[in-house]
Amino acid sequence: MLNQKFYTQRRQKLLASIDNGVIIIPSFPLKLMSNDVHYKYRQHTELLYYVGYPEPDTIAILEKNNELTQFLLFVPKRDPEFEIWNGKRYGVDGAVHEFNADKAYETEEFESELLPILKRNETVYYMSGIDEKIDQIVEKTISVAINSRDKIGSGPINLINPINIFHHQRVVKTEEEIELIEKSAKISADAMTNAMEVTKPGVFEYQIEGLINYHYFKNGAERCAYPAIVGGGVNATILHYITNQDKLNEGELLLIDAGAEYMGYAADITRTWPINGKFTEPQKEIYSLVLNTLETCTKMVKPGIQFKELSKIAISMLTEGLIKLGLLTGDRDELIENAAFKRFYMHRLGHWLGIDTHDTGQVVIDEAVLREGHYFTIEPGIYIPTDEDIPEKYRGIGVRIEDDILVTNDAYRVLTKNVVKSIDEIEKIVGTKELP
């Protein structure tokens, strides 16, 4: 949990950016993993960002109208029997004293307390689809409040999904957030270096995944920001490969895409290296193409440039490179026009990073003009299928290199630069240590 003043500032900023109305922010429900065992709980991003309340079955209400501005919390009640098994709940008192709610209620009171609030507000900001139970209560209570307009002359007219407002606020990182993303990037970069050091033929993908997780937890990260992709050989060409069960083979590459979540903030790094510590010539050719693309695009980053410009350069460099290697044939501009590169490079150049690994999707990155405080990945890749028409030496090679970039007041900082990516530096460290 952050200092409460940060959450207060975020809520103030949110309220300042909307017209009068009531914002309802629900929590994620617990999710079953097996029988009666739940996944470790992770709060929904919006509640995490604006309140930091760590428990499920919680709802925040922010109300802003001419009469009053208030912040209410509905939280699970204290329960000695539950707390013996699962640990302390904050309860209504904690919600007021530790989370600065103006008033707090038990979750059961949500429906009855919501109705009078809706009756005096014209606009309701609510994002459905997070918790079905809360959706049902909100929908039902809105209908009741709408029906009473006839009699009392006030009540909801507009229902707005606030996702756009949330994402536009969150996409720019504040100073306190930058400290946290630096830490999550550092933990993740160090883990990736550890993974490089212990890679050898015969090691299993899951053993390296285990080492990465160990490093995250050892350094205070609460979880992986997403399941680590640890793909040797042709597994590196599967974009979301998370099975991680295979043995690493001599002569092949290993691609790892992994990031920690620290105090709610995700990192997202990818590196690709030779399992035996020495790139073959064809691997070098593909690797250099991806690395040059990453470095060229990174150097373009500064406030005022459109991310789309970076995406275009990446497509142009990768297409040109694929032509030179004989993997694409034809006129460069036509191949770009027809998106022929998509056979080998089928994802975007990058995405915003933050509380979610793929953060703030409402702010379309390719339409964004970069500004100070923007934080995103740049991650070009080439994935070569094993089809017969592909020159044999390139078949099954997958390379992605991904860094986390923060836009500064005049340029950028690469927060994941500590994990090496030049061919020389990689060859120097792969296989230099034993798996612990």
Contact of 138 with 24, CB cutoff 8 Å:
yes
Contact of 32 with 40, CB cutoff 8 Å:
no
Nearer to Mn ion, 89 or 374 (CB): 374
Residue 374 is a catalytic residue: no
Separation in Å, CA 20 to CA 124, 237, 284: 9, 50, 58
Assigned token pair, 103:
């008033």
Using Cβ positions, the residue closest to Mn ion within the complex turns out to be 268
Residues in Cβ contact with 206 at an 8 Å cutoff, skipping those fewer than 6 apart: 230, 244, 245
Phi and psi at residue 306, to the nearest 5°: -85, 140
Contact of 430 with 419, CB cutoff 8 Å:
no
The catalytic position among 216, 262, 265, 383 is: 383
**Binding-site string for Mn ion from residue 350 to residue 379, where x marks contact by CB under 5 A and - marks none:** ---------------------------x--
The catalytic position among 36, 81, 389, 410 is: 36
Nearer to Mn ion, 166 or 376 (CB): 376
Residue 168 is a catalytic residue: no
The catalytic position among 46, 190, 257, 261 is: 257
Q: Around Cβ 435, how many Cβ atoms within 10 Å?
A: 14
The catalytic position among 55, 209, 285, 379 is: 379
Assigned token pair, 39:
């996944």
Q: What minimum distance in Å lies between the beta carbon of 381 and Mn ion?
A: 10
Residue 379 is a catalytic residue: yes
Q: What minimum distance in Å lies between the beta carbon of 402 and Mn ion?
A: 5
Q: How many residues bind Mn ion (CB under 5 A)?
A: 2
Residue 63 is a catalytic residue: no
Q: What minimum distance in Å lies between the beta carbon of 353 and Mn ion?
A: 8
DSSP H or E run through 374: none
Nearer to Mn ion, 233 or 381 (CB): 381
Residue 400 is a catalytic residue: yes
Residue 351 is a catalytic residue: yes
Q: Around Cβ 165, how many Cβ atoms within 10 Å?
A: 17
Nearer to Mn ion, 60 or 405 (CB): 405
CA angle 156, 162, 166 (to 5 degrees): 150
The catalytic position among 46, 55, 209, 402 is: 402
Contact of 223 with 357, CB cutoff 8 Å:
no
Nearer to Mn ion, 263 or 353 (CB): 353
Residue 215 is a catalytic residue: no
The catalytic position among 10, 89, 167, 351 is: 351
Q: What minimum distance in Å lies between the beta carbon of 91 and Mn ion?
A: 39
According to the binding rule CB under 5 A, does residue 188 interact with Mn ion?
Answer: no
Residue 358 is a catalytic residue: yes
Q: What minimum distance in Å lies between the beta carbon of 226 and Mn ion?
A: 8
Report the site for Mn ion in 260-289 (rule: CB under 5 A): 268
Q: What minimum distance in Å lies between the beta carbon of 377 and Mn ion?
A: 4
Residue 81 is a catalytic residue: no
Judged by DSSP in three states, 367 sits in helix
b/e per residue, 283-292, with b = 16+ CB within 10 A?
Answer: bebbbebbbe
Q: What minimum distance in Å lies between the beta carbon of 351 and Mn ion?
A: 6
Q: What minimum distance in Å lies between the beta carbon of 270 and Mn ion?
A: 7
b/e per residue, 395-419, with b = 16+ CB within 10 A?
Answer: ebbbbbbbbbbbbeeeebbbbbeeb
Residue 306 burial class via C-beta count within 10 angstroms: exposed 0-12, middle 13-18, buried 19 and up: middle
Phi and psi at residue 403, to the nearest 5°: -120, 160
The catalytic position among 67, 150, 175, 240 is: 240
Nearer to Mn ion, 123 or 298 (CB): 298
Nearer to Mn ion, 46 or 268 (CB): 268
Beta bridge mates, 382: 399
The catalytic position among 268, 359, 403, 404 is: 268
Nearer to Mn ion, 110 or 273 (CB): 273
Q: Which residues are designated catalytic?
A: 36, 240, 257, 268, 347, 351, 358, 379, 383, 400, 402
Give contact residues for Mn ion (rule: CB under 5 A). Answer: 268, 377
